[in-house]
Chains A and B, each alone.
Chain A
Amino acid sequence: KQEVTQIPAALSVPEGENLVLNCSFTDSAIYNLQWFRQDPGKGLTSLLLIQSSQREQTSGRLNASLDKSSGRSTLYIAASQPGDSATYLCAVRQSGSARQLTFGSGTQLTVLP
């Protein structure tokens, strides 16, 4: 059964720093991997989707990479801002007929002004 782990569970950085969030998964037979953002008490907002054939995706200050063979993904946030404070979740969809996502437990990011 797929397991997704995110380290660290919480991270606090000063504004302006570049930072990396980590995600690892145990079964490399994935269809894709998705990074989400969740603000307190709210739903999930999709940030980046990486298909299994891709190595990275970029959106603005965000860059996500995928190394399927080693079971790892990273989310790089450049020039962090207080508005980036949120919980970041990664989720994988397996190859084959499975349609659902398996989520990590998230990294709670705080960017200090």
Chain B
Amino acid sequence: DVKVTQSSRYLVKRTGEKVFLECVQDMDHENMFWYRQDPGLGLRLIYFSYDVKMKEKGDIPEGYSVSREKKERFSLILESASTNQTSMYLCADSGTPGVYTFGSGTRLTVV
């Protein structure tokens, strides 16, 4: 089975800090995704990548960037964290067409 690992379960950061959220998958899959989940708003796509160094904006990319230097790792970067980026961040990958596997999530609090 595919394993998607997010490096941190909980993070607390200060406003203005640069924040890195890391996600690693172990199956050499091409597609990886970053979502955020907020009460009342559901899951919203931030960015996704379909290959090394390839990325596309999702529905809410503002304030975020991503990096994919190696196929197994997809990083989400908050350039200057703000309190409205407090959220649950979920990474996913997709290998076999349409089969998505999610990580366990990172609960980020920006104070």
Contacts and interface: CB of A to CB of B under 8 A. Distances in A.
Interface string B85-102: 000101010100111111
A100 B33 contact: yes
Interface residues of B, number: 24
B98 A32 contact: yes
Question: When A and B form their complex, which 3 residue pairs have the shortest distance between CB atoms, in order from nearest?
Answer: A32-B98, A44-B102, A43-B104
26 contacts: A31-B98, A32-B98, A34-B98, A34-B99, A36-B102, A41-B88, A41-B105, A41-B107, A42-B104, A42-B105, A43-B6, A43-B103, A44-B102, A45-B102, A46-B100, A46-B102, A49-B99, A51-B98, A91-B43, A91-B100, A99-B50, A101-B45, A101-B100, A104-B42, A105-B42, A106-B42
